[in-house]
Every structure is written in C-alpha cells, then in structure tokens.
Amino acid sequence: MTGESERELSRRELSDAVSAAGWRYVLAVFITTVRVESLARATALAAQICDAIGPEADEHLRFDLRPDRLGVAVQTQRSARLTRRDIDIARRISDLVALEGLMTNPHVDAEERSVQLVEIAIDALDIPKIRPFWKAVMGYGDEADRTGPEDALIDPQWQSPAIWFQQMDAPRPQRNRIHFDISVPHDEAERRVAAALAAGGTLLSDRSAPAFWVLGDAEGNEACVTTWQGRD
C-alpha cells in the first residue's frame, strides 16, 4: 500500500501548505517573488538560495532575476509535478529570505498584480494531427513525464507560454479557437475577472468557476481566468 509520504497531494493541500509562507500554487508550480533593490542583490540572493538547497536546486528551482525583484518557482522538474519535497524547499527558501530581512510575497508590482502563468489553448477536432505542427513551428518540446499525442507542449527555454489542446466535437467556424488561459492564485481570480469586466469585457460563462471563468472582449475574442480550485 502506498504510504502517506508517497500519496499524491491534492491541489488544496498543496496550496494550503505554502500560502502562509508567501507562495502561491499555480499550474503545478509554487511561485513567489522577493523585493530587492538591485539586479546584483537578486543575483546574490539566488546564489544564496542555491547554496542552501544544494544539489537539488537544479532539479527543483527556476529563477527570474530583475533589478527590483527575484522571482522563484519551485517544482519537481523531471515530472512537472509538486511533492512534499517541493513544499519543504519552498518553506526553507522563505526562512532563508526572512533571515536576510526580506520576504516571499506573490505580489509583484505597485498595482499588486499577483504572480501568474499563461498558457495558449488551441481547440481542435484532430489534436494528434495538428500538434506536430505547433511543436515544430514554435520550437517546443513535450512536457516532462508526458509524451501522449494530446499532451501539452512547452518551451524548453522557459521563455514563452505553454500550449495545450482542447478537444472539439464539431466544427466551430464562427468562434475563435485559440485563446489565452491566465492562471492566477485562487485569492486573486475574482479581482482579475472584475477588472476585465470593468475594462469592457463580457462574462461569457462562470459555470465552471472557480476552476475557470470564460471572458470575451468587445469583439468576442476569448480568454479564461483559471485557478486550481474546483478541480480535485
């Protein structure tokens, strides 16, 4: 029987495990930011974190270095999933950052926009037929531990959004078939939806909220605001 230490954690368990430490669970990744005063400080702090985590840093950590912030992402990269070890690493990073007089915080700018990840969703009747085209034209690769004909594609350089494919059951020529999925922290979603509506958007469907809201711009082009909630 699988032991408790090996049991796959639910999305709620993952989110609850790191939220209080200033991280957010978004698309199977723990993400946070640390405010700094210079690019040199961001670089030095990233090096400190790598030293503290040790050899596991290469497997679990990604950084985004900017003059005013250090972005940190934690994930078990060989499987593109989160484990209890990732929880331990995220908490350890928060402790280390606190010792430096700084803090891990999901909000990244003056307008308090939280961390997020963006995906491109393509609706298709025959996903295995079109997937190789998008893989080739974008220079993308298969997501870790997933090699099926309908699985998502990712940028191996981590520079551009992932692409995933949504199965259609009938042609839909009068509606757009490529849209953005903006995955945000669960406690940011309703504010993001409200902002989009105030900016001239239309709520097309909240049937599946809080997993996702379908929004449209003034010409009907679609985007989804998504969270981990409602998916377990």
Tokens for 32?
């946070």
DSSP-assigned letter for residue 213: E
Q: What is the DSSP string of 56-75?
A: GHHHHEEEEEETTEEEEEE-
- Mean pLDDT over 99-116 rounds to 85
Q: What is the pLDDT of residues 31-84, one digit of tens each?
A: 999 999 999 999 999 999 999 999 999 999 999 999 999 999 999 998 889 999
* Residue ranges of domains in the chain: 4-105, 117-226
- Residue 70, classified by CB atoms within 10 Å of its CB into exposed (0-12), middle (13-18) or buried (19+), is buried
Helix (H, G, I), strand (E, B) or coil at 218: coil
What is the number of alpha carbons within 13 Å of residue 88 lying toward its C-beta? Answer: 9
What pLDDT is recorded for position 3? 47
Q: What is the pLDDT of residues 116-160, one digit of tens each?
A: 999 999 988 899 988 998 998 889 998 877 766 678 899 988 889
Give CA–CA dist 56/36, Å, rounded: 24
**Structural element, H or E, at residue 129:** helix 127-138
What pLDDT is recorded for position 109? 65
Higher pLDDT, 114 or 6: 114
Label residue 111 by pLDDT band (50, 70, 90): low
Class of domain 4-105: alpha beta
Beta strands in the chain (DSSP E): 24-26, 29-35, 61-66, 69-74, 104-105, 117-124, 141-142, 153-154, 162-167, 178-183, 202-205, 212-216, 222-226
Give CA–CA dist 68/115, Å, rounded: 15
Q: What are phi and psi of 128, to 5 degrees?
A: -60, -25
CATH architecture for segment(s) 117-226:
Roll (3.10)
Q: Give percent helix, percent strand, percent coil of the chain, each to the nearest 5.
A: 30, 30, 40
Rounded to 10 deg, the angle between the 84-99 and 11-19 helix axes is: 10
What pLDDT is recorded for position 171? 75
User: The pTM is what?
Assistant: 0.88
